């Protein structure tokens, strides 16, 4: 086991001007489960492949423990990788697939058998050791791929979207198994996914990337409560945070007919280039229903209701007749806002509900830079 350090690591593909990964700086602790997350093309898989030695590093360095592995061959880095595709040999049994790397390394047959059987017990694969991959389900094949990594007893596990080929129910089941397995083994793990729900539920820390640039690193709670910028705010959370740009009048952000009070620190942090505007974010679960025309309440015309049993989500629009509302752009869509409601009190399509943002649960960002204006965390009042 070992620490992993990206020291301003940069990858520029030939024929391109913009780096695929730009000066990536992350320190990963021994035994930590770090999740690299971001949209397609953000550089997360390239970052993983740089650590594996499958991509060259044009600038900077990567360290595993106290060893600079920047120019070390992949086979000599003591790293095991689990790919999105299972990459199993179809003509080999499960046991042969799991022990193949040890066979190539000329390990003793008895040691290979011992390690394979130990990994099979951990992964609940003992009864499948003599089967070929074609006789296994998708989830079982992925566990075999993980077993192949485990038997090598590496210093670092790398996982590149290993759940992407599984159905929704199996993904939920397998991600809990992977997280539990990592904690049991205590091996430093770097996990890549585009699914922010996977990131929030699995990682000790999350690193959010966009266009090859690291946006923020922190615990799942850090990401949820204090997103560093508008991108992180809109990316982390499901459904996505409602985000819009609003004019500031006398210490309030004007949201349609509603008004949202801003702190003195927020007002003081505004700069000339913000042009008396802020980007305001509020999560669907941070909204409370209010009486019609209540002071500061925002009217929402109900378009769609999603009833999930334990929750209900209302997708609605802010009526355009209320002043500035026609300029609103929420992450759910133009002039659309998402509200989480009690599933026993669900409005009908076409109705208008009134909502207020719970005190202390708004996120305020600079309209010019997109950066968070104040550092204090959001007060959590989850129901």
- Mean pLDDT, the chain, integer: 88
What does the DSSP assignment read for 33-79?
A: EEEEE-STTSSHHHHHHHHHTSS--SEEEEEETTEE-TTS-GGGS-E
Instruction: Supply the pLDDT for residue 92.
Output: 94
Please give the C-alpha separations between residue 330 and each of 336, 347, 376, in angstroms, as whole numbers: 6, 21, 23
User: Three-class SS of residue 249?
Assistant: strand
Please give the C-alpha separations between residue 359 and each of 41, 227, 277, 296, 356, in angstroms, as whole numbers: 37, 18, 20, 12, 9
Instruction: Supply the pLDDT for residue 364.
Output: 93
pLDDT digits (tens, 9 = 90+) for 262-316: 888 889 999 999 888 999 999 999 999 999 888 878 888 999 999 988 889 999 9
Residue 25, Ramachandran bin (φ over 0: left; ψ between -120 and 50: alpha; else beta): beta
Helices 109-123 and 138-150: crossing angle in degrees, nearest 10, is 130
- In this structure, the strands spanning 312-317 and 213-218 are unpaired
How would you class 345 by CB atoms within 10 Å of its CB: exposed for 0-12, middle for 13-18, buried for 19 or more? exposed
Whether residue 335 is predicted with pLDDT greater than 80 in this model: the reply is no
Average pLDDT over residues 21-35: 96
Q: What percent of the chain has pLDDT over 70?
A: 93
Instruction: Supply the pLDDT for residue 29.
Output: 96
Instruction: Supply the pLDDT for residue 223.
Output: 93
Q: Give Cβ neighbours of residue 199 (< 8 Å, ≥ 6 apart).
A: 35, 37, 193, 206, 220, 236
The phi and psi torsions of 21 (rounded to 5 degrees) equal: -135, 125
- Residue 203: both structure tokens together: 């990682």
Whether residue 165 is predicted with pLDDT greater than 80 in this model: the reply is no
- Residue 318: both structure tokens together: 């802010």
pTM: 0.86
- Residue 248: both structure tokens together: 């500031």
User: Three-class SS of residue 98?
Assistant: helix
Strands (E) in 148-187, as ranges, are: 156-160
Average pLDDT over residues 111-119: 92
Q: Domains of the chain by range and CATH? A: 4-225 (3.40.50.300), 240-366 (2.40.50.140)
Identify the band that residue 376 occupies on the pLDDT scale cut at 50, 70 and 90: low
For residues 213 and 18, the answer to whether their CB atoms sit within 8 Å is: no
User: Three-class SS of residue 110?
Assistant: helix
Whether residue 381 is predicted with pLDDT greater than 60 in this model: the reply is no
The whole-angstrom separation of Cα 121 and Cα 109 is 18
For residues 13 and 171, the answer to whether their CB atoms sit within 8 Å is: no
Exposure string over 244-257, b if 16+ CB within 10 A, otherwise e: bbbbbeeebbbbbb
How would you class 364 by CB atoms within 10 Å of its CB: exposed for 0-12, middle for 13-18, buried for 19 or more? buried
User: Three-class SS of residue 178?
Assistant: helix
> Is omega for the bond preceding 239 within 30 degrees of 0, making it cis?
yes
pLDDT digits (tens, 9 = 90+) for 230-271: 999 999 988 889 998 888 988 888 877 777 888 888 899 999
Q: How many CB atoms lie within 10 A of CB 333?
A: 12
Average pLDDT over residues 327-343: 67
Average pLDDT over residues 12-23: 94
User: Three-class SS of residue 86?
Assistant: coil
**Dihedral Cα 206, 209, 213, 219, nearest 10 deg:** -20
The phi and psi torsions of 128 (rounded to 5 degrees) equal: -110, 5
Instruction: Supply the pLDDT for residue 379.
Output: 52
Which H or E element spans position 24?
A: strand 21-28
């Amino acid at each position: 086991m070992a620490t992993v350090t990206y020291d301003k690591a940069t990858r520029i593909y030939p024929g391109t001007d913009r780096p695929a990964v730009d000066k990536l700086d992350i320190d990963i602790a021994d035994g930590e489960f770090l999740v690299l997350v971001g949209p397609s093309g953000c550089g997360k898989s390239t970052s993983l492949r740089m650590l594996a030695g499958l991509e060259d590093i044009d600038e900077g360095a990567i360290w595993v423990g106290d060893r600079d592995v920047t120019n070390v061959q992949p086979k000599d880095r003591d790293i095991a990788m689990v790919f999105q595709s299972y990459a199993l040999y179809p003509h080999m049994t499960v046991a042969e697939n799991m022990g193949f790397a040890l066979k190539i390394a000329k390990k003793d047959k008895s040691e290979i058998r011992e390690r394979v059987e130990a990994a099979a017990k951990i992964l609940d694969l003992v009864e499948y050791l003599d089967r070929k991959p074609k006789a296994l389900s998708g989830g079982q094949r992925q566990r075999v791929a993980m077993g192949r990594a485990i038997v090598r007893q590496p210093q670092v596990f790398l996982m590149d979207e290993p759940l992407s080929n599984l159905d929704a129910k199996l993904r939920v089941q397998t991600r809990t198994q992977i997280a539990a397995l990592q904690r049991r083994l205590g091996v430093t793990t770097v996990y890549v996914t585009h699914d922010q729900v996977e990131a929030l539920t699995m990682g000790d820390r999350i690193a959010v990337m966009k266009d090859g640039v690291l946006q923020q690193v922190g615990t799942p709670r850090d990401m949820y409560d204090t997103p560093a910028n508008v991108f992180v705010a809109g990316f982390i959370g499901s459904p996505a945070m409602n985000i819009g740009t609003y004019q500031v009048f006398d210490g309030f952000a004007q949201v349609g007919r509603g008004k949202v009070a801003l702190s003195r620190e927020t007002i003081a942090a505004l700069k000339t280039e913000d042009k008396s505007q802020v980007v305001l974010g509020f999560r669907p679960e941070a909204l409370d229903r209010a009486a019609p025309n209540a002071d500061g309440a925002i009217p929402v015309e109900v378009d769609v209701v999603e009833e999930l049993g334990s929750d209900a989500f209302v997708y609605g629009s802010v009526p355009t007749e209320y002043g500035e509302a026609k300029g609103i752009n929420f992450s759910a869509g133009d002039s659309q806002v998402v509200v989480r409601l009690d599933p026993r009190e669900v409005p009908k399509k076409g109705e208008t509900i009134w909502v207020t943002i719970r005190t202390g649960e708004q996120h305020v960002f600079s309209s010019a830079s997109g950066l968070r204006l104040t550092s204090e965390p959001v007060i959590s009042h989850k129901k």
